[in-house]
Structure 1
Amino acid sequence: MADNRVVQGRMVTPESLAELVEGDDVMDAEPIRDAERDCPACGGNVLAVGYMPSVLEFVTGYKCQDCDWSETDRE
């Protein structure tokens, strides 16, 4: 089963999606899943990916498939 998804016209892996959200390299990423919510910026489909930006941190990132919007669940 392929974990790759299309985001803004480009095929992304879980790692590359996490790097788009984080803006930096990540250590590890879980499979991409649907966030089951709409983008607040454009109304498009939002994907979620859990990832580790460092050894001590686990973050869930959210990214719109259609526009530049993204956010994380960091406090």
Structure 2
Amino acid sequence: MADNRVVEGRMVTPGKLAELIEGEGIMDAEPIEDTDRECPECGGSVLSVGYMPSVTEFVTGYKCQDCDWSETDR
């Protein structure tokens, strides 16, 4: 399975996807996963990525593949 996915028409790595969700640089990211969720804004497919925005925090972020909607489990 490829680590990179197409999001909003661009190929992104797990780290780049996490940065899109977080809005800034992150320390480390796990592989991108598919979810069974639909985007609440456009109905597109939602991806998830686990990442560390800092040494002491682990966050799961969710991002639509088709629009700019995202959220985290904070």
Shorter-normalised TM range = over 0.9
Partner of 2:39: 39
What TM-score do the two structures reach when normalised by structure 1? Answer: 0.96
Q: Percent identity?
A: 80
> What root-mean-square deviation, in Å, do the aligned CA atoms of Structure 1 and Structure 2 show?
0.6
1:66 deviates by 0.2
Mind listing any 5+ residue stretches in structure 2 that lack a counterpart?
none
Q: Secondary structure at the match of 1:66?
A: coil
Mind listing any 5+ residue stretches in structure 1 that lack a counterpart?
none
Distance 1:53 1:2 in 2: 23
Partner of 2:50: 50
The alignment covers a number of residue pairs equal to 74
Distance 1:9 1:50 in 2: 21
Q: After the TM superposition, which residues 11-22 of structure 1 pair with which residues of structure 2 at under 5 Å, given as runs? A: 11-22=11-22
